[in-house]
A = this chain, B = another copy of it.
């Protein structure tokens, strides 16, 4: 692994060019760093590392097969994202989440998502509505699988469509980042108390309000959606003093 490995996994699945921009040879500046970043972030989000677990740099080097330079820059990135904390004199650990933080994250999400949803209800074009409808139908079709990950993905798509239907990339970025910090919570929440049913139901409420261009109702439904998730999260997080999670 000495920098002289460049002929790697670029499948180059050259789709037929839809426009001139996509004609470009897919430049592969997929730096090691970016790959390592995605891998490690996914691993943390997926719960492969436990909160509070130490992330020893040299160990990560072996596990990811890259050098410490890469690992350290990745850790800096994840630190800024809030997924990793670095205790002075002890190095990086996977960030812990407690109810105090989680509650704040849900609060920020409420503030940002209700805004985006209301805006979408005001301005959504038919194409956006179609897309939202398709996502929900897909979800219905697969709902009997009760697959937490499927629902999570669909929920993400749903809100992404809403955010990006307006000019809200920055807000969406923030929400995405916050969600990654409570990812474990989200999965646990979904695995609990019929959330696999109520979640999609709430989303349908939001969609209905958007379809009939009712910003206030849409915002209210969105708030209800998040508050419900927050309540479940609280029940998971608060009872024990400093929960394992």
A interface residues (Cβ-Cβ under 8 A, vs B): 27, 29, 69, 72-73, 76-77, 79-81, 88-89, 100-101, 103-105, 107-108, 110-112, 115, 167-171, 174, 178
Q: A27-B88, A27-B89 are in contact. Are A107 and B168 (CB under 8 A)?
A: yes
Contact B29 A88 (CB under 8 A): yes
- Identify which of A27, A72, A76, A174 gathers the most chain B CB atoms within 10 Å of its CB: A76
- The chain B residue sitting closest to A79, CB to CB, is B77
10 A-B pairs closest in CB distance: A80-B80, A29-B88, A104-B170, A111-B111, A76-B76, A111-B115, A73-B76, A76-B77, A108-B171, A77-B80
- The chain B residue sitting closest to A178, CB to CB, is B170
Q: A69-B72, A81-B80 are in contact. Are A101 and B29 (CB under 8 A)?
A: no
A101 contact set on B, CB distance < 8 A? 170
A88 contact set on B, CB distance < 8 A? 27, 29
A27 contact set on B, CB distance < 8 A? 88-89
A169 to B104 alpha-carbon distance, docked (Å): 8
28 A/B residue pairs, CB under 8 Å, sorted by A: A27-B88, A27-B89, A29-B89, A69-B69, A69-B72, A72-B73, A73-B73, A73-B76, A76-B76, A76-B77, A76-B80, A77-B79, A80-B80, A80-B81, A100-B167, A101-B170, A104-B168, A104-B169, A104-B170, A105-B170, A108-B112, A108-B171, A110-B115, A111-B111, A111-B112, A111-B115, A170-B178, A174-B174
A218 to chain B, nearest CB (A): 15
A111 to chain B, nearest CB (A): 4
- The chain B residue sitting closest to A108, CB to CB, is B171
Q: A73-B73, A76-B73 are in contact. Are A103 and B167 (CB under 8 A)?
A: yes
- The chain B residue sitting closest to A168, CB to CB, is B104
